[in-house]
Structure 1
Amino acid sequence: MSIKNRLIAMNFFQFFVWGAWLITIANFWFGTKQWEGTQFGLVFGTMGIASLFMPTLTGILADRWINAEKLYGILHILYALVLFYLPQIETPGNFIYVMLLAMCFYMPTIALSNSISYTALKNSSDSDVVKDFPPIRVWGTVGFIAAMWLTNLSGNKATAYQFYIAGIAAILLGLYAFTLPKCKPQHTKAEKSSFAESLGLEAFKLFGTYKMALFFIFSMFLGGALQLTNAYGDVFLDEFKNVPEYADSFVVKYSTIIMSISQVSETLFILAIPFFLKRFGIKQVMLISMVAWVLRFGLFAYGNPTDGLWMIITSCIVYGMAFDFFNISGSLFVETSTNAKIRSSAQGLFMMMTNGFGAVLGSFTSGWAIEKYFTHDGERDWHNIWLSFAAYSLVIAIAFAVLFKHKHNPNDVANVSH
């Protein structure tokens, strides 16, 4: 099997093991368990807490002491074991603690999968990272969609079996990881190191550069926007069942299928990234992403399952641009701004800001705000919830346009290939 096909398989299952429950867990929480809403934000907050330190820690380990593919495999097997235990939990508090443990094992694998892909492609004589990585990464989105569809169509969008589906796939991926190309640590013991370098903290020096510091700060704010849509998108569609005229609509019955349009859209926009990056540069691409987030939330605010269905579908299509133009392009931007010795650490740092601080910001703040300002007699005011999220994204977009200074140079993108 070619290196590209092997990386395609890795990316497919990387996001399959997440997509099997990420979008549907709200239905399990509110429907099957019937737990209160105030604590639900903490479920997504666990991803943020884990991402505050685990991607950076594992990145340091991969840069200095252990092959990235071996560490990747071990983490997925541990993640699977925790998922198998998760449905046995009977209280929301304990569920959150166990979910935090699962996320400590899973979240760093996202950054590691990027590092493994970049390293394998650069070591392959007939590969070009900017050209070849997006078509490989798109299979991760296909895996996410496949998991969502399997969970929904098998009738498990509100059952514990969503965690078993993810766990079985994670075990298989963990074992498969040990067959991947070797990604040895790039730091050699013979090199003289400063104290910070000896601890693997050299990547944090990137914060000393104005442009990189701003990039990471805005990464945090955009990471918050991603958590908002992941946490509440599916339950928003599902709650149309409380309105008699929408109760039997396709949107309510197959809310997860509708939400998967977002991931289908991702597959198209991922393939467009090389063109947009070379043509417009990272600043314009990220700004497009932020405007897309405004549209994502704004369209949700006015959509409904009948005459407003086109708004819901358009919102899902826009999501592909909002997600890819930030997350995938941002990862490539980090790659162009770092050297091989800190590559895994830098990707872990990017992960820490987006899915760490960003997730904590989005999950905890949104959970509190929705409960305090937008929930009345147990009913959530989705129209104003989505409008407030749209306003949040608009403020970020304006601030980014004004503050982030970056002159586009097509050669910077080309250099990542080598």
Structure 2
Amino acid sequence: MKNVTRFQLSFMMFLEFFIWGGWFVTLGTFLGNNLSATDGEIAIAFSTQSWGAIIAPFIIGLIADRYFNAERILGILHLLGAVLLYLMFHTTDFSVFYPYVLGYMILYMPTLALVNSISFNQMTDPSKEFSFIRVFGTIGWIVAGLVISYVFLWDSPEGIQSGMLKYTFLMVACASALLGVFSFTLPKTPPRVQKGEKVTLYSMLGLDALKLLKDKNFLIFFISSILICIPLAFYYQNANPFLAEIGLSNPTGKMTLGQASEVLFMLLLPFFFKKFGFKKTIMAGMLAWTIRYLLFAYGDAGELAFMLIIGIALHGICYDFFFVSGQIYTDTKAGEKYKSAAQGLITLATYGVGMLIGFWIAGKVAEMYLISENLHDWENVWIIPAVFAFVVLLLFTLFFKKEEVSYKP
């Protein structure tokens, strides 16, 4: 790969995840403080990610894969997204904000597949080249959080009180416009579906891979993947409002420790696979969710702040050991014929169905333990996903039979 191409793809990944991390992490805090949204309304706003994940295959399958170059549709989606982010910046009422964020996530979620397609199209050996490109996405997410907390101080108590969090939308609107324009300079990535080739709705949604569910182990893994997304939704939806509410300084910046640990544990994943095998690696990921939420439940912003920091830093184990391991397992079980369909099915089931349920439950639980306006009984809020994750761990441990899974990074 030419150095110019490598720079283009790396910058594309950086902006792609800078945009997402620049507003999604602080969304709950913004909605509760700037728009006086209820916990139920915050849950509805977060669930737009799931609706975007469900609708994304239609956009990719019906439009990007058949009629347009991937880099062009990426540019158009981000330019349209910039407009919606700018409108969100000016919004002062949740009823107006929700249609904008729903429309935006329907536009944004397909771009996650598009940036991968554009990258893979330029690689001769993705297994060796992709990780270098993808890590710039994680760096982009980290930089967004650091800018919010340590450069502009938008998530400081004073910043939150004065409504400064709205400027996250203006920041990412500019970044989205930049990526939209920059996308038209990216290497050409023509449609994957040739003229005359038939693509069914069944295959677009990854439903060709449903036959894999006949395998008992894969069925257990599939169900566990959906269930573990319920406690995952608690983190995305409630972590930043929780840290801000209890008074932890620079909460968004500190949450970037999660992405830093994601990079570290990604490097350690091959060692765990070789030493402990697939089942124990997945179990470690599930156990990490339980430990993280217990740390959140009993930590505080004072002397026990270290417990919150450890809970955030566990993100690498929580995410890599379960979700990345699961992607590898799915890849090996599906084989070459159903590889893409199987990954699509898992994405639809987790980020679509699983997290849609999870955001709804997280909103209901937060409402249940609301003490007064913008004040929650967080100990009980976090105990529920901790127990739920532990139950999923027990079910997976009991019913998933040990099997060998090879991993060659």
Q: Tell me whether the two structures share a fold, i.e. TM-score over 0.5.
A: yes
* Counterpart position of 1:154: 152
Contact 2:209/2:341 (CA < 8 Å) preserved in 1? Answer: no
Write the distance in 2 (CA, Å) between the matches of 1:355 and 1:202: 13
Contact 2:89/2:169 (CA < 8 Å) preserved in 1? Answer: yes
Write the distance in 2 (CA, Å) between the matches of 1:214 and 1:8: 36
Contact 1:223/1:358 (CA < 8 Å) preserved in 2? Answer: yes
1:198-234 C-alpha deviation (Å, 9 max, x unpaired): 7644721212212455444333223333221111111
Go from structure 1 to structure 2 and tell me whether the alpha carbon gap of 1:198 and 1:38 turns closer, same or farther (over 3 Å shift).
closer
Contact 2:231/2:386 (CA < 8 Å) preserved in 1? Answer: no
Contact 1:111/1:348 (CA < 8 Å) preserved in 2? Answer: no
How far apart are 1:321 and its partner, in Å?
1.4
Matched, 1:178 2:175: no
Matched residue type, 1:149: L
Matched, 1:8 2:5: no
How far apart are 1:313 and its partner, in Å?
1.2
Which of residues 374, 377, 383 in structure 2 aligns to 1:381?
377
Contact 1:16/1:140 (CA < 8 Å) preserved in 2? Answer: yes
Matched residue type, 1:314: I
Write the distance in 1 (CA, Å) between the matches of 2:181 and 2:335: 29
| 3-state SS, counterpart of residue 408 of structure 1 | coil
* Counterpart position of 1:400: 396
Go from structure 1 to structure 2 and tell me whether the alpha carbon gap of 1:307 and 1:90 turns closer, same or farther (over 3 Å shift).
closer
How far apart are 1:73 and its partner, in Å?
2.6
* Counterpart position of 1:94: 96
Matched, 1:164 2:170: yes
Write the distance in 2 (CA, Å) between the matches of 1:341 and 1:69: 26
Write the distance in 2 (CA, Å) between the matches of 1:80 and 1:12: 16
Q: Structure 1: where are the runs of 5+ without partners?
A: 242-250
Write the distance in 1 (CA, Å) between the matches of 2:16 and 2:340: 17
Highest RCO, 1 vs 2 (Cα 8 Å, sep ≥ 6) = 1
Matched residue type, 1:44: F
Write the distance in 2 (CA, Å) between the matches of 1:21 and 1:260: 13
Please give the TM-score of this superposition, normalised by the length of structure 1.
Answer: 0.84
Aligned length: 394
Matched residue type, 1:370: A
Go from structure 1 to structure 2 and tell me whether the alpha carbon gap of 1:136 and 1:276 turns closer, same or farther (over 3 Å shift).
farther
Write the distance in 2 (CA, Å) between the matches of 1:60 and 1:343: 20
Matched residue type, 1:162: T
Matched residue type, 1:231: Q
1:286-365 mapped onto 2 (5 Å cutoff) = 286-336=282-332, 346-365=342-361
Contact 1:138/1:270 (CA < 8 Å) preserved in 2? Answer: no
How far apart are 1:279 and its partner, in Å?
5.1
1:5-84 mapped onto 2 (5 Å cutoff) = 5-55=7-57, 57-59=59-61, 61-84=63-86
Write the distance in 2 (CA, Å) between the matches of 1:137 and 1:180: 16
Please give the TM-score of this superposition, normalised by the length of structure 2.
Answer: 0.86
| 3-state SS, counterpart of residue 383 of structure 2 | helix
Contact 1:108/1:348 (CA < 8 Å) preserved in 2? Answer: no
Which of residues 224, 232, 237 in structure 2 aligns to 1:231?
237
| 3-state SS, counterpart of residue 39 of structure 1 | helix
1:135-146 mapped onto 2 (5 Å cutoff) = 135-146=132-143
Greater displacement, 336-345 / 213-222: 336-345
| 3-state SS, counterpart of residue 40 of structure 2 | coil
* Counterpart position of 1:206: 209
1:164-193 C-alpha deviation (Å, 9 max, x unpaired): 1111111222233333333334443455x5
* Counterpart position of 1:247: none
Q: Structure 2: where are the runs of 5+ without partners?
A: none
Contact 1:87/1:160 (CA < 8 Å) preserved in 2? Answer: yes
Write the distance in 1 (CA, Å) between the matches of 2:113 and 2:222: 15
Runs of 4+ in 1 over 6 A off after TM superposition: 339-343
